[in-house]
Structures are given as C-alpha cells and as structure tokens.
Structure 1
C-alpha cells in the first residue's frame, strides 16, 4: 500500500484557507497526474487525518465532491468533561485549541480573546439564533452517556468585536465541515473519537450529519484513549486503533 504524507504549511506562517488549498492541490495532482508514477489505483484512494488533519480530511472530501476543530461550541459536554476531569492538561486543552483557531484565522490570539472563545462569546447572536446552527449542534444528538454531569451553560452575551471578526467563519464548511450544505455522494467514512478529548462530540455530530445524507459511517469510540494517542507508539490503545484502521482500509480497498 502506498502512503503519501502531506507536509503542509502551518499557522502562524500561513492562515486559513492556505492548508486546505495546499492539501487539495496535492490530492488532485496525485489523482490526475502522478498516480501511475506512485503505483496507485486512482479509484481506490483514502484520505486520512488526525486532529487538525481530520478536519482537513472532511473539508477536502466535501470540496472535491462539489468541485465548484467544531470551532463554535467550547461548552459542549466533551469540553465540560475534559475541564472537570483533566483541568487543562493533555496534548489539547480548551485554551490551547482556542488560541490555535484564532491564529489559524488571523485573529488576535491574546489572552483576552482566548478567554472569550472558551466562553463561546465569539459566536454572534445571529448565529446562535440560526435554526440550522441550533439543529446541527444540538447536544441531544449525542449518546446519553456523554450527557452525564453535563450542565447547560447560561445564555451568554456575545463579544461584539470578536464575534463580528469570527462571523464570516462560524458556519463556513471549509472551517467546520459540520455545516456542509449537500453531503450526498460522499464516500464511506470511518470516524474515530476518544473519551479523553475535547473534540469528541464534534466527531459524533459530524457522523450524524453524514448519516442524515445517507452516507455510510462507521464510528469507532475508544473511551480510554486521549487526543493525540496516535503519536504514542507504545500505547496499547494506539495499537488497537491502528489495527481497526488497517482492517477498515483492507475491507474497503
């Protein structure tokens, strides 16, 4: 099996949407021109990503279909659980993720804006009141076990300046693929979530979104795994995840 790893440019050297365009260009180049040189069957290509790469994978699949890091909810059950149990430790915590998103979008990522983001004050009132936004981010779509000890946040007031800066991106599917308009025809997806991960709920919600368009989804949840576990070569959980990925690819390719 041929594996191509794309070493795309990172923020702050580049900002949104540069990594998307760079990865998309490489994938199209392979599919249209380089597949023979690489010994690849162009009809059997899988795109895989972890963390930010997972977001890029979902976004690029939607863009390639049309060819024309949920960054909106920092008070979801998985964020609350992570904050209560792990107090900002780990490879990805709410403050770090908020800072990464702001840098990616070219918005001031100072402490003040980071604090506003983790309180969801970067979301404008017109977005919060948008019916589509409310439906797609509804926590009731999550497994009941994920909602244990979840506390519904108080109705928060948006920070006008930051929410206006964030407004063009809030429901942009190139940033948050959950808001893709027409997902019919996307390939079958393998979605992996970890119990110790602030992004757990986003993976589940995206899987539900795909299923609403009849896209086949296989969801694998590893309750004892944590964000970034694929970088831990001696982890038993990592070996289990890699075995499941391998089995999925063998069955599909």
Structure 2
C-alpha cells in the first residue's frame, strides 16, 4: 500500500537533526509523566509556530461540553474572525492534535490564525477533554457538542450556518472524521466539509499500514511508540473499542454520504497510508475527497512554519482548499 520510501527535504532534514540532538540521552515518552510531555509539546509548538498572523477580532469563549452534568461541562474555546469581509463568514470547528492527550488552543494558535487569514474563515478552536484523565469518548463528545452549538449560535456569532466545516489535526482528525460518522448515524445534518490533516484513522489492524513501520522507528518525529502510548491513554485499557468506527474511521464499513473531504498527508509520516486510503475509500463510496500529499516532510509539519517551507506553503494551501470546499 505504501509508496516507495520518501526522503526529507532540506528544511525537514535540518529540523530532524535538531530534534535528534535534543532527544539524545533523553527518556522516551513512556518514561515521563503526561504533564511533563504536555509541557514539552506546548513549548515546542509555540517555539516553531512562529509569529502568529494578524486576524480580525478574537474571542475566548466557554462552549457546552459533551457531559453538561459532569466533568464535561463548559469547555474553553477561541473564535478567530477574519480581518476582511463581512459576516456571515464560512466557518470551521478546529480540533487540535496531540494523541488525544496533549495540545491545547494555544499550541495551535498559529495554525488557526493562518487558516482564518488565508482562507477567509472564522475558526472556532476547541479545548476538548484529554486522556488519560478523560478517555474515549469524552473528546469526541465535546467536539460533537461544540459543533452543535456552533450551528445553533451561527447567526449570533456571525457565521454562515450552511457553511460550517470541521477540521482536525492528527488525533483531532480522528475526532473530525468520527464526528461526521456520528452525525450521519444519528440522522443529523452534516458539516459542509471535513478537513483531515495527517489524521490518525486506525487504532485497529495497524499491521495493514506499511507506513507505520517505515516511518515510525524514531527518525521522523512521530513514532510507533508514541502512537501506542496515545492509544493506551485514549482507550483506557479497553482495546476492544479499537475496531469501533468512531475510533478507527478508516475501517468503517460504510463511508457513503459523508461531507466533502480534504485529506492532507506527509511523505515521512507513519500515518500517511491511512490518510491516503481513507481518501480513496471516501471517493470509492461516491464522495468528494481531495488528497493533498506533501512529500519530503514529517507529521505535524503545518505546526512548524518557522522551520519548514512545507509548513508555510501548506498552511496557505490548506486554508484555500478548505475555503474552496465551502464555496
């Protein structure tokens, strides 16, 4: 299934060399606490996110969570509005990456600003609940509640209710794809589009995805060890859930009737095979699926625009492609 082995471009090679030097003699992800890993990822993403692009008015909000009567009450979120044009704007619910255990609105501030500026999109970035404290389906429940709230409040927020997409980065891509599957199953209106940015789409039958082994050994940022760590946190020991369509959307038996999709993959990413296969399966089920593949770079490249030309160009390309799906 996987294409011939890719090789890093010059920017990516330099960044990987820096990562390797910094990781020398350091403990692995399984040997440190979740809080320590969260701090490290936060610092890395802020450092490589660059100077955030200027956008229009921003607003920090509290939106309904997926368990209003429990610990999934109101969730923090940030709404970015374009500097140009007038409402109602096409909009996107953005679900950050981090293996369902890491990341937050601040880590993805640069990505969301870029999408807002270059796509002319209003972006609602959600801080959903994280594992292992809140395993599946907490994060997905929060995403579903936030999307429903966006649609219901579209007029008050200056959004076009007919043009609200969902986008997810890495583990957020799992949530975005699963949100579409859930709403279809429940007979609810679907997002106008879905943008899946190097998504995790399979926590089951991983052996059928050669790129997991080809690029997950430690040389290309994301590792198989990190994916296994994230899976354990997300499922909380309930490995039987891995085959569920909302956990492994790639293997959902029916992908018909889903929103138009943009699927972004990277050449050196362990997740590249599942993204490419998902795009093919969506198209084969009669849907619209644009697969945007970026060779020579790594997982999370869109979060590293200060270091990677692929990140800078990719952010603009993704913003414009998503806007085109919402035209």
- TM-score w.r.t. the length of structure 1 is 0.71
Is 1:58 aligned to residue 177 of structure 2? yes
Note the alpha carbon deviations across 1:129-165, whole angstroms, 9 max, x for none: xxxxxxxxxxxxxxxxxxxxxxxxxxxxxxxxxxxx5
* Cα offset, 1:190, TM superposition: 0.4
Which one of the candidate residues 259, 275, 279 is aligned to 1:187? 259
Q: How does 1:143-182 map to 2 (within 5 A)?
A: 165-167=238-240, 169-182=241-254
Q: Secondary structure at the match of 1:44?
A: strand
Mean CA deviation greater in 1-10 or 238-247: 238-247
More strand by share: 2
Which one of the candidate residues 25, 42, 65 is aligned to 2:161? 42
**Runs in 1 of length 4+ with deviation above 6 angstroms?**
none
Q: How does 1:1-253 map to 2 (within 5 A)?
A: 1-31=121-151, 33-67=152-186, 69=200, 70-75=202-207, 76-83=209-216, 87-107=217-237, 165-167=238-240, 169-234=241-306, 235-253=308-326
Aligned partners of 2:206 and 2:285: how far apart in 1? 26
Note the alpha carbon deviations across 1:32-59, whole angstroms, 9 max, x for none: x211121000100111111001111111
CA contact (8 A) 1:71 1:101 kept: yes
Count of matched residue pairs: 191
Q: Secondary structure at the match of 2:126?
A: coil
Mean CA deviation greater in 61-70 or 209-218: 61-70
Unaligned runs of 5+ residues in structure 2 are 1-120, 188-199
Across the aligned residues of Structure 1 and Structure 2, the Cα RMSD in angstroms comes to 1.6
Q: Secondary structure at the match of 1:46?
A: strand
Q: Secondary structure at the match of 2:168?
A: coil
Aligned partners of 2:315 and 2:303: how far apart in 1? 11
Q: Secondary structure at the match of 1:45?
A: strand
CA contact (8 A) 1:2 1:38 kept: no
* Cα offset, 1:184, TM superposition: 2.3
* Cα offset, 1:90, TM superposition: 4.2
* Cα offset, 1:248, TM superposition: 1.1
Aligned partners of 1:191 and 1:4: how far apart in 2? 20
More helix by share: 1
